[in-house]
Structure 1
Amino acid sequence: MSETMTAERDLFAKFDDIIQIRENLLASGVEDPFSLVMEKVLSPTRAICNGRDTILLGTYNYMGMTFDPDVIAAGKDALDRFGSGTTGSRVLNGTYQGHREVEDALREFYAMDHAMVFSTGYQSNLGIISTIAGKGDYIVLDIDSHASIWDGCAMGKAEVVPFKHNDIEAMEKRLKRIPEGAGILVVLEGVYSMLGDVAPLKEMIAVAKKYGAMVLVDEAHSMGFIGEHGRGVAEDQGVLDQVDFVIGTFSKSVGTVGGFCVSNHPKFEIMRLVCRPYVFTASLPPSVVATAATSIRKLMHAGNKRAHLWENSRRLHAGLTDLGFSLGTSEPQSAIVAVIMPDLEKGAAMWEALLHEGLYVNLARPPATPANMTLLRCSLCAEHSSEEVETILGMFERAGKAVGII
C-alpha cells in the first residue's frame, strides 16, 4: 500500500507581506520602533530607553498616576497582606476584598449601580459584547472601532453592521435596515485612539434609542480626563444616563492594568455567571486592584490635573500646527495628538530622529490606522510640565527639518 505524502503548509504564509515590510524597514538602518526597551522608568514622563534619558510622549498614562505615592503605597500594602496573585477565577477563589473595593470605587466614580472588573480592557470588550449580542442579534459599530470590539463581535457571532467613522447619517441608514424586533447593540467609542478624535455621542445615542438599540460606549481614552468628573465623553456631552454599558480600562488614566464595565441595567449581575472571558480567566492580583481603587478615588478629585492636561494638549496641538505638521484633528479634542507622516519610511525615520533627540512617541501604521495612514501618535500626560511641552516642540522642529517633513 502506497502512502501519499502532502507537503507541510506554512501557516505563517499569510503574514509574508508584513514580514517583508518589517525586513525592509530594518534594512534601511532605522532602530526597530516596535522593540523599544525601557531600562528604567524615572517618572510618569521620563525613562531610560535604549540607554537614553527620554521624555515619554507615547504612553497612555494620561493622568500620571503610575508614580502617585498613595497608589504605590496601596499596592505594596496589598502585596504584603494578600500575596502576589489570586490563582483563581472571580467566580471561584479569585474574589478578594480588593476586587470588591475597586468595583465599589467604580460604582461611586460613575454613579452607577453595577461594576464588573476584568483582567484587561481587551477582555472587557471581548466579554461584554460577545455575551450581550449573540447569534440573531445585530451590532452596529463605527468602522474605526478598536480591535477588542471587533473581536468581541466575532466571538459572539452576531450580525455585524459597520458604518463610516463618526457619520450619524450612515449609522441611521444601517439601523433602518435591521429587521423589526431584532436585538440591536450600538457600539461607539468616546475618543478614537489613533487620531484622538471625539464621537458625536449625543446625536448618535439619540438615533440609537430611536430604533430601540442598547448602547455601549468604550471610554478607554477619555475616562479620568474628559468630563466634569472625568467620566468621559458621554458625561461631557450630557448623555451618560442614556448609555447602557460603559467600558473602560485601568491601563490608561488609572495607571495600572485591568478593565471594567459599569451599567445601570437591572439584570447586569447575571453577567458574572454567563460571560466566558470573566468566568474562565484568573482575576487580577491583589496589588493591582488596590492600586486601581486608590487611583480611581483620587481621580474623582483631579480637576486641577484635568485642567493642566487640557492646557498641554492645546499647546502641543497649536505648536505642531504652527511648525507645519499635518495633524489628525483640526483642533485638540483629547490627550492624543496624531501627527500624520507621508509614508511608513518617513514615519520610521522621524520616529528614530525624535528618539535620538530624547523623545519617545508611538509609530502607528496600517492596518491599525484609519485610511492607511502612518502616524506618530503623541499621548500627553497631566504630569508633563509646560516647559517639557516647549522642549517637545523644539525636538519636533529639529527632527522634522532633519528628515525633510517640514
Structure 2
Amino acid sequence: MDLLDKFDSIAALRASLPFEKADPFTVVMEEIISETEAMIGGRRTILAGTNNYMGMTFNEEAIEAAKQALDDFGTGTTGSRSLNGTYLSHKKLEETIADFYGMEHCMVFSTGYQANLGMISALGGKDDFVIIDADSHASIYDGCSMGNATIVRFKHNDVDNMERRLKRLPEDAGKLVVIEGIYSMLGDAAPVKELLEVAKKYGCMTLVDEAHSMGFCGENGRGIAEQEGVEHLVDFYVGTFSKSVGTVGGFAVSNHPKFDVLRYVSRPYIFTASPPPSVVASAIKSIEAIKRGSNRRAHLWENAKRLHAGLKDAGFDLCTEKAESPIIAVHFPDVMIGTKFWEQLIMEGVYVNMAAPPATPAGMFLMRVSVCAQHTTEQIDEIIKRFKTTADKVGLELKA
C-alpha cells in the first residue's frame, strides 16, 4: 500500500479548484519592495496578508544588528539550547522579553509553533487536564496531542460553556486553561478577562497565547491580557517573533518560581537547534522598538478600523462587527466563488490569504486580510477599491 493514498481526496479537492492564472498555494514573492509591497507574478502588489502587524521587517536597527551578528557569530549555532546553542545574545533576548512582559523568567524557542508544542506538552502530564478553545491554533492542538493530559474543549469564546466543562473535572486535578488573545483566522478577540476569572475560580493554571495580539494590544503592546487589565491572572504567556516582531522564533514567559525546570523537560526546546544569532539580534532590537512604538500602534489601529469600515460599507460579509484586531476576515458563500475572487484580486494587485477548512472554524471559506502599521491611508483605500472591483468582475453579490 502506498502511504500517500490516504491523501487522495485532499489532492482531488486541490485539483478541482478553478485557478487559471494564479494559485494561492504557490505564490512566490519575487521582490520585497517594502513592508507593504512586493513583486508577485511580475506585478507590483499591495501586501495585505503577511502578519507583519507592526511593520518591523525593515526596521533599520534590527537589520544592522542582524548584519553585525552575522559578522561576529556566523550563520547559526549548530546546536540546541541544552548543548552549544546558548550564546550571550540568547540570554539577552530572554531578558529583553521578560522585561517587556514585566515577568521574571523567559524561554526562547526556535519557532512560535514549538513554543506552544513545548509548553503545553510539558505542562499537561498524566492525570492532568488541558482545557482549550475549540478554535485553537494547530500548534495548541498538537501540543495537547504530544502530552499525556486529557483534553477538554469548550465552544469558541464561550465563557459559560467553559465553566460547565470545568465543573465536571476533579477539584484536586492539575488543570491548564489555554486561550488565545486574538484568534488568527477570524481576527476576533477572546473575552480574556471573563475566561481567566472563571479559570482561577476552578483552580486552573492559565496560558495565554498572544501571538496575534503582541505589539499592538495594551498600553505597552503586551497583548489582550494587558489591555483587559488581567495580567495578574496569567501564569504563562506564549508568543512568536514571526508576527509583530518581524522575524522567526517563539517564547514563553512566567513568574512561576519553578519555571526553569521546563528547560529540562520540554522536548521541542531540548531537541531543536537554537535560533541563529542574526535572528536573535534582530528580535532584541524589534522588541525594544515595539516597546516605544505607541505612535505605530495607533496608526495600525487606524488602518484596521478604516479597512473594516470600508469593506463593511461596500457590502462584504465580515466575520466581526467591528475591528477587533488588524485581521479582517471576509466570509464567502462557497469555495468556487472564493477561489475566483482570490485569483482576480491578486491580478488586481492585492495579496491576501485564502483560508479554507480545516484551517478555518465551522468549515468557513474566507479571505483573511491583515494590515500593517506601515500601510498608508491611500493603500488602505486602494485595497477597498480593488476589493469592490474584484467583486464586480467575479459576480459576487454584495449586501445592499
What TM-score comes out, normalization by structure 2 length?
Answer: 0.98
Contact 2:334 2:365 in 1 (8 A): yes
Match of residue 79, structure 1, among 66, 70, 87: 70
Match of residue 261, structure 1, among 252, 266, 273: 252
State the superposition RMSD in angstroms. 0.8
After superposition, give the CA deviation of every residue in 1:150-206 in whole Å (9 maximum; x if it has no partner): 000010021000010000000001001112211000000000000000000101101
Q: Which amino acid aligns with 1:341?
A: F
After superposition, give the CA deviation of every residue in 1:121-163 in whole Å (9 maximum; x if it has no partner): 0000000000011121101110000000000001002100001
| 1:328 matched residue in structure 2 | 319
1: CA distance between counterparts of 2:26 and 2:92? 36
1:213 aligns with 2:204: yes
Match of residue 85, structure 2, among 90, 94, 118: 94
- Give the count of matched residue pairs: 397
Unaligned runs of 5+ in 1: 1-8
| 2:24 matched residue in structure 1 | 33
Q: Which amino acid aligns with 2:219?
A: E
After superposition, give the CA deviation of every residue in 1:235-294 in whole Å (9 maximum; x if it has no partner): 000111210000000000000000000101010011111111001110000000000000
Consecutive aligned runs of 4 or more in structure 1 exceeding 6 Å deviation: none
Deviation at 1:32, TM superposition (A): 1.7
Match of residue 11, structure 1, among 3, 6, 11: 3
1:345-360 equivalence runs, <5 A: 345-360=336-351
Q: Which amino acid aligns with 1:305?
A: R
| 2:178 matched residue in structure 1 | 187
1: CA distance between counterparts of 2:355 and 2:240? 21
Contact 2:184 2:212 in 1 (8 A): yes
Contact 1:84 1:285 in 2 (8 A): yes
| 1:24 matched residue in structure 2 | 16
1: CA distance between counterparts of 2:88 and 2:336? 50
1: CA distance between counterparts of 2:31 and 2:301? 28
Deviation at 1:30, TM superposition (A): 5.0
2: CA distance between counterparts of 1:68 and 1:342? 39
Contact 1:30 1:349 in 2 (8 A): no
Q: Percent identity?
A: 59
1:283 aligns with 2:296: no
Match of residue 166, structure 1, among 143, 150, 157: 157
1: CA distance between counterparts of 2:116 and 2:233? 19
Deviation at 1:31, TM superposition (A): 2.2
Contact 1:30 1:348 in 2 (8 A): no
SS of the residue 1:165 aligns to: coil
Q: Which amino acid aligns with 1:287?
A: S
1:116 aligns with 2:107: yes
2: CA distance between counterparts of 1:82 and 1:264? 31
1: CA distance between counterparts of 2:8 and 2:387? 33
Deviation at 1:366, TM superposition (A): 0.5
Deviation at 1:86, TM superposition (A): 0.2
SS of the residue 2:17 aligns to: helix
After superposition, give the CA deviation of every residue in 1:213-239 in whole Å (9 maximum; x if it has no partner): 000000000000111100000000011
1:246 aligns with 2:247: no
Contact 1:78 1:287 in 2 (8 A): yes
1:341 aligns with 2:341: no
Contact 2:171 2:203 in 1 (8 A): no
Q: Which amino acid aligns with 2:190?
A: A
